[in-house]
Amino acid sequence: MEMIHIIFLIFLGGAVLTYFAGKVSKVLQDIFFLLSVLVPAYLFFANVGIGKEVTLTLGGITLVWGVNHFSWLFSLIVLGLGSMAAIYAIGYMKGKERKGYFYFNFILSIMAMMGILLSLDLVSFFVFWEIMTWSSYLMTVYNGHETQRIGIKYFVFSAIGAYAMLMAIVIVHHVAGSFMIGSMINFYPNMSLSLQIWIPILFLMAFGVKAALMPLHVWAPDAYSNAPMAYTSVFSGALSKMGIYGMVIVLVTMINQIPQGFWFREVIAWLGGITAVLGTLWAIKQDDAKKLLAYSSVAQLGYIIVGIAIGTELGMLAGLFLAVMHALFKGTLFMVTGAVEKQTGTTNFTEVTGLIRKMPWTFFAALFSIIALAGIPPLGGFVGKWMLYEALITSNHYLLVIVIFFSSTAAFLYCYKFLFGFFLGQEEKEWAHVKEAPVVMLVPMIIMSVLMFVLGTFPGLILKPINSGLVDLGYIDTFKHLWNTSIIFNAWGDHVVLQPILYYIIAIFVFFALFLTWKGHKTTRYVTTKDISSSGEVPAEDENLTFSVGFMQPFLRAVAPAMRRQIDKYYTGIADGLESLFEFMRRIYTGNGQTYAVYVIVFVVVVLLFKSVLF
């Protein structure tokens, strides 16, 4: 029995045990749940050596599992974020219905993601991929809202991706004679040109669905916003990264081998860029925090895809660093949304406002993640953004860099909308009773905020495993050439030294904060948000001064032409077309025995009449 087997056994057994423990005691269930996520995480990082392979023979097929540096990096995202979200989920799920269902699927998702990362053969890869899809599907329909529209949409897209992948796996097995990923990669240069093009396309379809690459992204906003927030932080933060993981492998080990690969990568990079822009614009439009973050996830995944698609060393570093950062800040933001939802019962910006003094720690976490998301120094998001821009500029993607820049500047709009909508603005009596979220929910958020801060100055902590992963994939070692513990370089030798910048920022901030506070801090008193002057008038207590409806209207008016078309509508159009086709089919296959009898008679008559012609 190897350690990897034990880990999977704990996941599986834990999921079942947790499900049934709920029948005995709620506390026992929570404990089982935490243990079955945290214990495997600990065992994995403490005991599983990189480069080790274990096998398992099931029904004549040998499944091979193992870790390399690259999958270790993604395991860090999955298990790290998974553990944080698990702790958070204890608080979030308190008092909610169907906890067993939630915990069971949560653990299975984590297990499936680990399975994907550890699989060295395509069979177990596919099986785990399906488990991941199923468990996440069950989570998206957890609420029971609009299961038809949202759940089916997610499932149809996942199924299309999965069948594409299955087809590719079957073809690979046919030509290469093996299910091993390694042998597929080795055999790839010997394939015919059409296969060399089709197999990556089929795989990329599967991965593109999970990574929400346009035009396969339409399921994401609904699915992300409909799942319970404690799970969505994993859904958007880690599960979408499985698509990125697969994409990197396909792009690096296959597409880079053929001369047509250049166009492949350009197309994907541009799709990523367009995804980023459209995701951002639609995020600005949303009035619901869940939807806003869901669209923003789509946009952020666009950046990551751009980074890995351009495929230079700096681009890969940027993409993967952003992937880690995205897991951190989007995970935190979904947790913040969940906390607000739990404390107030709504996530709509037009309903809830002015929570900063009621939920200061949640605000702190939200502020840090927003700064990281916006890419403002000194937090970690800046490092990723910087590397991405420099990678694009030094690899001659001049227009793409403008597209990305537009998208990330426009991201400020929804960043501000998120912070303002929940925490700032008028404090209303309706929300006067709101309390800070429970500690068990706050702790993961604060831990991740601190991590974002640390990574902003010492990105080397994460760039080191990324670099090892890239070396595993055949890239050159970029240590001291593109990054150091707290210095980042571009290909032209320009660099940013992060440590002194942090100290300067802190020094200036502290100086002016003291200047503002120093004199008269005792006599300065707090006044409510109603105690303001507007053009000389003092508003009365009952006057509504909340500004949240049509928040970014002028900007949206400016970009209206870009948002007139919605890809979702095209899909709906196709679906409607198919539906009428099926409707027509149903008229033929009525299910009525007499109709079928008529068909048989007509058939016999036709055969008899045209006997001489036919035979």
Minimum Å distance from CB 258 to other proteins?
A: 27
Segment interacting with other proteins, rule: CB under 8 A, options 97-105, 196-204, 384-392, 566-574: 384-392
Minimum Å distance from CB 557 to other proteins?
A: 4
Q: Is the dihedral of CA 557, 563, 568, 570 positive or negative?
A: positive
Tokens linked to 609:
């009449």
Position 386 contacts other proteins (CB under 8 A): yes
Position 361 contacts other proteins (CB under 8 A): no
Q: Is the dihedral of CA 583, 587, 592, 596 positive or negative?
A: negative
Position 55 contacts other proteins (CB under 8 A): no
Position 440 contacts other proteins (CB under 8 A): no
Position 429 contacts other proteins (CB under 8 A): no
- C-beta of 526 vs 615, nearer to other proteins: 526
Position 532 contacts other proteins (CB under 8 A): yes
- For 532-582, the DSSP string reads --BTTBPPPTT------TTTTHHHHHHTHHHHS--HHHHHHHHHHHHHHHH
Find, among 361, 393, 360, 373, the residue nearest to 456 by Cα: 373
Segment interacting with other proteins, rule: CB under 8 A, options 38-46, 312-320, 425-433, 570-578: 425-433
Cα separation values, 365 from 171, 350, 404, 446, 542, Å: 48, 22, 26, 6, 32
Taking CB under 8 A as the criterion, the residue among 535, 592, 594, 612 binding other proteins is: 535
Position 516 contacts other proteins (CB under 8 A): yes
Residue type, 73: L
Segment interacting with other proteins, rule: CB under 8 A, options 223-231, 244-252, 253-261, 514-522: 514-522
Find, among 246, 244, 301, the residue nearest to 275 by Cα: 301
Segment interacting with other proteins, rule: CB under 8 A, options 149-157, 224-232, 386-394, 579-587: 386-394
Position 424 contacts other proteins (CB under 8 A): yes
Q: Which helix (H) or strand (E) holds 294?
A: helix 289-310
CA distance 37 to 85: 10
Taking CB under 8 A as the criterion, the residue among 4, 114, 176, 374 binding other proteins is: 374
Taking CB under 8 A as the criterion, the residue among 382, 418, 458, 483 binding other proteins is: 382
Taking CB under 8 A as the criterion, the residue among 60, 435, 492, 564 binding other proteins is: 492
Q: Binding-site residue total for other proteins (CB under 8 A)? A: 77
Position 69 contacts other proteins (CB under 8 A): no
CA distance 61 to 476: 35
Binding mask 536-575 for other proteins (x = CB under 8 A): ---------xxx---xx-xx-xxx----------------
- Residue 72 phi, psi dihedral angles, 5° rounding: -60, -40
Tokens linked to 244:
């990125």
Tokens linked to 43:
């065992």
Position 160 contacts other proteins (CB under 8 A): no
Position 355 contacts other proteins (CB under 8 A): no
- C-beta of 59 vs 554, nearer to other proteins: 554
- C-beta of 338 vs 456, nearer to other proteins: 456
Q: Are 178 and 119 in contact (CB under 8 A)?
A: no
CA distance 545 to 534: 10
Tokens linked to 141:
């329909």
Q: How many CB atoms lie within 10 A of CB 73?
A: 24
Give residues 205-264 in contact with other proteins (rule: CB under 8 A).
none
Q: Which helix (H) or strand (E) holds 62?
A: strand 61-66
Position 494 contacts other proteins (CB under 8 A): yes
Taking CB under 8 A as the criterion, the residue among 5, 96, 357, 565 binding other proteins is: 357
Position 525 contacts other proteins (CB under 8 A): yes
β-pairing, 487-489 vs 53-58, is unpaired
- C-beta of 399 vs 476, nearer to other proteins: 399
Interhelix angle 398-423/289-310, rounded to 10 degrees, is 160
Alpha helices in 48-145 (DSSP H): 69-92, 99-118, 122-140
- C-beta of 242 vs 392, nearer to other proteins: 392
Tokens linked to 39:
């214990």
Minimum Å distance from CB 103 to other proteins?
A: 37
Binding mask 387-406 for other proteins (x = CB under 8 A): --xx--x--x-xx-xx--xx
Give residues 13-32 in contact with other proteins (rule: CB under 8 A).
none
Residue 8, Cα to own-chain centre: how many angstroms?
A: 23
Taking CB under 8 A as the criterion, the residue among 245, 385, 391, 462 binding other proteins is: 385
Taking CB under 8 A as the criterion, the residue among 60, 520, 591, 593 binding other proteins is: 520
Position 612 contacts other proteins (CB under 8 A): no
